[in-house]
């Protein structure tokens, strides 16, 4: 597992931005960024390559940070979910080498 001190958004490749993000009641992302999944739930849309449409691919930063959905706000930098996703990505990358 990655040490907690190394889990910072500024040093990440935004792997959380490929996870599905359900839009919940009370969330306020811009409507043009909302899509519907196969089950009829509102989600943040994805680009053709699987990345969140709100991600600025040049800076790897969220373009709607102040209006990001609850799911994104709860995905804490350096938290358990963050560490788990990064470890999964690292294992996948190593298996492809």
pTM: 0.70
Which pLDDT band, with edges at 50, 70 and 90, does 2 fall under? very low
Nearest to 52 by CA among 75, 72, 38: 72
The Cα–Cα gap between 15 and 88 comes to 10
Domain of 58 in residue numbering reads as: 4-96
Task: List, in sequence order, every beta strand (DSSP E) within 47-88.
Answer: 55-56, 61-62
Which pLDDT band, with edges at 50, 70 and 90, does 8 fall under? low
Q: Residues near 46 by Cβ (< 8 Å), separated by ≥ 6?
A: 18, 35, 52, 53
Distinct helix (H) and strand (E) counts, the chain: 2, 4
Is the pLDDT at 5 greater than 60? The verdict is: no
**Domain count of the chain?**
1
- Rounded mean pLDDT of the chain? 81
Which pLDDT band, with edges at 50, 70 and 90, does 9 fall under? low
């Amino acid at each position: 597992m990655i040490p907690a001190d190394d889990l910072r958004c500024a040093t990440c490749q935004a792997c959380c931005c490929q996870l599905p993000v359900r839009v919940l009641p009370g969330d306020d992302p811009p409507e043009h960024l909302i899509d519907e999944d196969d089950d009829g739930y509102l989600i943040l849309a994805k680009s053709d390559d699987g990345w969140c449409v709100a991600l600025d691919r040049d800076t790897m930063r969220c373009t709607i940070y102040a209006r990001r959905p609850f799911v994104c706000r709860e995905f804490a930098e350096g938290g358990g979910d963050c560490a788990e996703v990064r470890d999964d990505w690292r294992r996948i990358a190593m298996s492809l080498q």
